[in-house]
Amino acid sequence: MTAEADLLILGAPVWTGDPARPWADAVAVRGGRVAAAGPEREVAALRGPATRVLALDGGLVLPGFADAHVHTAAGGLELAQCDLHGVEPEAYPATVARYAAERPEAGWVLGGGWVMDAFGTAGPHRSVLDAVVADRPVLLESTDGHSAWVNSRAVELAGITRATPDPPRGRVERDAAGEPTGALHEAAMDLVGDLAPDPGPAEWEAAVERGQAHLHRLGITAWQDAAVGPEMLAAYRAVAERGRLTGRAVAALRWDVDAGAAQLRDLVEHRRQGTLGRLRASAVKIFADGVFENRTASMLEPYLDGDGRPTTNRGIGMLGPEELARVVTALDGEGFDVHVHAIGDRAVRDTLDAFAAAAAANGRRDARHQIAHLQFVHPADRPRFRRLGVVANAQPYWSCLDGYMRELTLPFLDPERAGWQYPWASLRRAGAVLAFGSDWTVSTANPLEEIEVAVGRLVPGDPDAEPFLPDERVDLPAALAAFTSGSAYALRLEGQTGSITPGKLADLAVLDRDPFDPAAGPLGGVRVLATLVEGEPVHADPALDLG
Ligand SMILES: [Zn+2]
């Protein structure tokens, strides 16, 4: 006789994500693992006197989402700071003023979430912040994390004047007279950022738990934290040691471009310390370039000037191609999964070249090397993902005609390159493993809102929008797979999670509607009723009876 189940989930279709048996109508859980998924009669036979039953009234059961690229700890920190995400740009000054007034004791006003397309290419001006906070320094990161907006007090404290040179790999935005405007890009952010107080260990630990709770509410059971410094890793460790890490976290340890090869030893040690419970510090994150909107993405051909004329600017490669290959080869040789941020087509090509160099030097191993963002991929480079075994770590929410695309991207491009953007369907057709991630807090962490853009390539909430490069749409099963089995593969979790398959861990999400039902409405409006890790709820709608 089969042993009885701890939990049965009945009453809603089950999208298993298992290609051998994609649909079921019930799931049984025993000992934290999927005991059965199949016809209701078969699964219900596992019911015993102590079995809890989650009786649903429609909706959909699916594997818990895995976010392949998200900033959980930093996002959790931001949730407690001056948060401009989702705030209308006209309301930025009032929001900053209110936040500062509520915290008279705080020396600095720190926060972020402002959008670049509210200000044009010059970025925001310090005078706007001076009007609401003049006596204390203000430092606000853009939602993409690649620029900062500071007030005059911060400029003064940092000693930035018209005579200050741009630091390597960064730019101080200046007005026509050469005066700093208060917008700082890439490495120039550190001119002010290095002066701001760092959060202490308790703040970071609270941030990890706050970020985790945010993701669980959205059906996410595993994630890759895409740039983890030593202070964040210590917080993850502390939370894991207390048994409070309920999600599966892969920490991608941050590679410091200025620290050189000497940091390799430290990273190996951090991996050893950072592997306990559901935490695994097995990846390293490298920035190959910046972002297109501030002209720091590394491009094969120069940017245009907005009137269609070529400039001499090809962006900023954070490491030269030789150094990138050297670093990637060394990390690969130590058994790390290398996770590279690459936006421009040159950055993507240099990174693929680096992975090829690593394979040539070390031999091919079962690595989960990956390139995140992939805004511009030259068509000749698409088949190389499969050939080199490189995961396409994609942020589907960006693949639409939003303000960033219309105002800050398309005017600076020729039509040919404009058509190479976010090629999710092409990469899939070329045999790449597609793994979806949010890049929260850059964008929403809600996988269903992101999937809505992946399948429609439409600006969310705009009924008149036109699809952006519609040939690059992926269908719903492919999008769900990219957010479950695809991202589980990127996290080395595909043997344990990513599909509802007997024997795998019962990491599950329960939706209030079935997104496969055309009557369900926009995907982004579908809500998560419950999130389970090993069969135990880590989020549950109060209305739900979990037995
Ligand atoms: Zn990121």
Find how far residue 118's CA is from the centre of its chain. Answer: 22
Looking at residue 121, what is its pLDDT? 73
pLDDT digits (tens, 9 = 90+) for 301-341: 999 998 889 999 999 888 899 999 999 999 999 999 999 99
Instruction: Quickly count: other Cβ atoms within 10 Å of residue 510's Cβ.
Output: 28
Looking at residue 1, what is its pLDDT? 47
**Distance of CA 56 from the midpoint of ligand 1 (Å):** 36
Instruction: Quickly count: other Cβ atoms within 10 Å of residue 162's Cβ.
Output: 11
What is the value of pTM for the model shown?
0.90
Looking at residue 146, what is its pLDDT? 86
Looking at residue 547, what is its pLDDT? 62
Looking at residue 471, what is its pLDDT? 98
pLDDT digits (tens, 9 = 90+) for 243-257: 999 999 999 999 998
**Distance of CA 340 from the midpoint of ligand 1 (Å):** 10
Which residues, given as ranges, of the chain have pLDDT below 70?
A: 1-2, 463, 547
**Distance of CA 436 from the midpoint of ligand 1 (Å):** 12
Looking at residue 258, what is its pLDDT? 87
8 A C-beta contact, residue 530 and residue 537? yes
pLDDT digits (tens, 9 = 90+) for 191-213: 999 999 999 999 999 999 999 99
Q: What is the DSSP letter of 164?
A: P
**Distance of CA 159 from the midpoint of ligand 1 (Å):** 29
445: Cβ–Cβ under 8 A, 6 or more apart, which residues?
A: 67, 70, 75, 214, 215, 218, 220, 438
**Distance of CA 372 from the midpoint of ligand 1 (Å):** 8
Return d(Cα 514, Cα 506) in angstroms, integer. Answer: 20
**Distance of CA 481 from the midpoint of ligand 1 (Å):** 21
**Distance of CA 158 from the midpoint of ligand 1 (Å):** 26
